[in-house]
Amino acid sequence: MKHLRVLILIPMLAVLGACSLFGGDKDSVAEKLPLDQLYRQAHQLMINGNYSTCARFYRRLVARFPFGQYSEQAQLELAYCQFKLGSDEESIATINRFLKAYPTHAKVDYALFLRGLVNFDRNAGFADRFMPDEAATRDQQSLRQAFLDFSELVKRYPDSAYAGDARQRMLYLRNNMANFELNVARYYFRRGAFVAAANRAAYVVETYQQAPQAVDALELMARSYEALGQPELAVDARRVLAFNAAERGNAKPVDGDQPWWRWLWPFSSKES
């Protein structure tokens, strides 16, 4: 029985030790650990998914040791932890500070990709991820910024390990933004604001020429011109529509909705 009690006591002491380290005295621990141990501890916390505690450790590391390789890597990993915690503004601020301080750093491509991910997922709910028609109804500002972030990554670092993923996300974002503008044009059409509908549809065609929605926008333009009593402009729009439909497939009805599965993330798409 004595040996059994000893065996039980050992894991209990280990648990108590862990609680002492990561309980209410986290800041004290972060102040006392040397640089290499502090980084390794924070990194292990991140791997384990303890993002709140690892973010505190990374912040103390950067405050105590503001220069050097550990500090540079800690800033990137701090931004990732903040992203996982849903602290989007803090994550972007950390990334921007990193990019300003280390504009030629070897991991600038990762920083740009992470900033794109933060904006890509900002304010996104469950419906946004699995029903992109719903995503097209929410605020587009963060999505446009994500597109710019990924675009900067692809332009500056075309051979980056993150460039392929960024290109695929840019395709999704382009289609999402085009769908948003097309939905606005359809709204104008249903309200009888045919000039506004034609103008918004023309914007989709001009701005998102490679997006699938450009075909639907041409159809909407033609119907708007017909409603305005301008048959020649309607004929021109349908002529362009026929040319595009031959390559991309027939356009769907203006007032119809895309099947929700058509706009799932096209990460296996070969579209350019």
Secondary structure of residue 124 in the 3-state scheme: coil
Cβ-based burial of 223 (10 A; exposed 0-12, middle 13-18, buried ≥19): buried
CB 218 within 8 A of CB 237: yes
pLDDT digits (tens, 9 = 90+) for 180-215: 999 999 999 999 999 999 999 999 999 888 888 888
DSSP one-letter code for 261? G
User: Is pLDDT at 17 greater than 80 in this prediction?
Assistant: no
- Inter-residue contact 223 to 255 (CB < 8 Å): no
Residue appearing with tokens 């460039």: 163
Instruction: Give the pLDDT band of residue 40 (cuts 50, 70, 90).
Output: very high
Whole-angstrom CA distances from 230 to 115, 215, 264 are 46, 20, 37
Query: In this structure, what token pair is assigned to residue 128?
Result: 């946004």
Burial of 192 (0-12, 13-18, 19+ CB in 10 A): exposed
What is the spatial distance between Cα 200 and Cα 191, in angstroms, rounded to a whole number? 14
Structure confidence by residue, pLDDT tens digits, 116-146: 999 998 866 444 544 444 444 556 888 999 9
Q: Which two tokens stand for residue 213?
A: 């929605």
Which CATH superfamily includes the segment(s) 21-105? Tetratricopeptide repeat domain (1.25.40.10)
Whose tokens are 């009593």? That residue is 229
DSSP conformational letter for 249: -
> Which residue ranges does the chain devote to CATH 1.25.40.10?
21-105, 112-272
pLDDT for 194 equals 93
As a whole number of angstroms, the distance between CA 106 and CA 69 comes to: 11
Length of the chain as a residue count:
272
Q: How far apart are CA 265 and CA 272, in angstroms?
A: 15
CA angle in degrees (0–180, nearest 5) for 193-260-227: 20
Provide the H-helix boundaries in 158-251: 163-190, 194-207, 213-227, 231-248
Query: CB of 177 within 8 A of CB of 204?
Result: no
Which is more confident, 154 or 21? 154
Residue 48 has pLDDT above 80, yes or no: yes
**What ranges in the chain are assigned the alpha helix state H?**
2-22, 26-32, 35-47, 51-64, 69-84, 88-101, 108-121, 126-130, 132-135, 141-156, 163-190, 194-207, 213-227, 231-248
Give 112-272's CATH code, choosing from 1.25.40.10, 2.60.120.10, 2.60.34.30, 3.30.450.90: 1.25.40.10
Q: Is 205 left (phi over 0), alpha (psi -120 to 50) or beta?
A: alpha
Q: Which two tokens stand for residue 98?
A: 């990193």
Confidence of residue 21 (pLDDT cuts 50, 70, 90): very low
